[in-house]
């Protein structure tokens, strides 16, 4: 049909989350390997506004609307080359201790890194 397959949008959301974490000075690998923190996805919501076309470059904007506590929710918007909204949604994740696999609160370093954006 010449349009981006709907299942690929989740991959773009992941890229947005990974790069958002990297912009805060950490990575998923560091959180897992060095800090023992896992962040599994609890829910994924998306809405399709208009189709993205094959070979069209998309811009992914990622934001947080509140400080993480027990969970963190990334809000995503994808725009086409003309700057039109193509897709939007959110991904909610929780924090787990890597060894026990039990839920834990958001790590202090993450809350501290995000705090200036919510003042």
> Considering the entire predicted model, what is its pTM?
0.92
Q: Is the pLDDT of residue 119 over 90?
A: no
Q: Looking at residue 38, what is its pLDDT?
A: 96
Domains along the sequence of the chain with CATH: 6-118 (3.10.129.10)
- Which pLDDT score is estimated for 90? 98
Total residue count of the chain as it appears in this document? 119
Mean pLDDT for 54-70 is: 95
pLDDT at residue 28, rounded to an integer: 87
Distance CA 52, CA 23 (A): 26
Mean pLDDT, rounded, for 37-44: 97
Burial class from Cβ neighbours inside 10 Å (0-12, 13-18, 19+) for residue 72 reads buried
How many whole angstroms from its chain centre is CA 99?
23
Contact 18, 12 (CB under 8 A): no
What mean pLDDT comes out for the span 26-49? 94
């Amino acid at each position: 049909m010449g349009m981006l397959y709907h299942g690929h949008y989740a991959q773009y959301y992941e890229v947005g989350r990974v790069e958002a974490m990297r912009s805060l000075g950490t990575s998923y690998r560091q959180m897992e390997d060095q800090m023992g923190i896992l962040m599994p996805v609890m829910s994924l919501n998306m809405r399709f506004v208009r189709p993205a076309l094959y070979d069209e470059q998309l811009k992914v904007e990622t934001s947080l609307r509140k400080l993480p506590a027990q969970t963190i929710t990334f809000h995503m918007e994808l725009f086409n080359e003309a700057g039109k909204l193509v897709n939007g949604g959110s991904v909610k994740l929780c924090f787990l201790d890597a060894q026990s696999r039990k839920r834990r609160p958001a790590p202090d370093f993450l809350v501290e890194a995000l705090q200036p954006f919510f003042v």
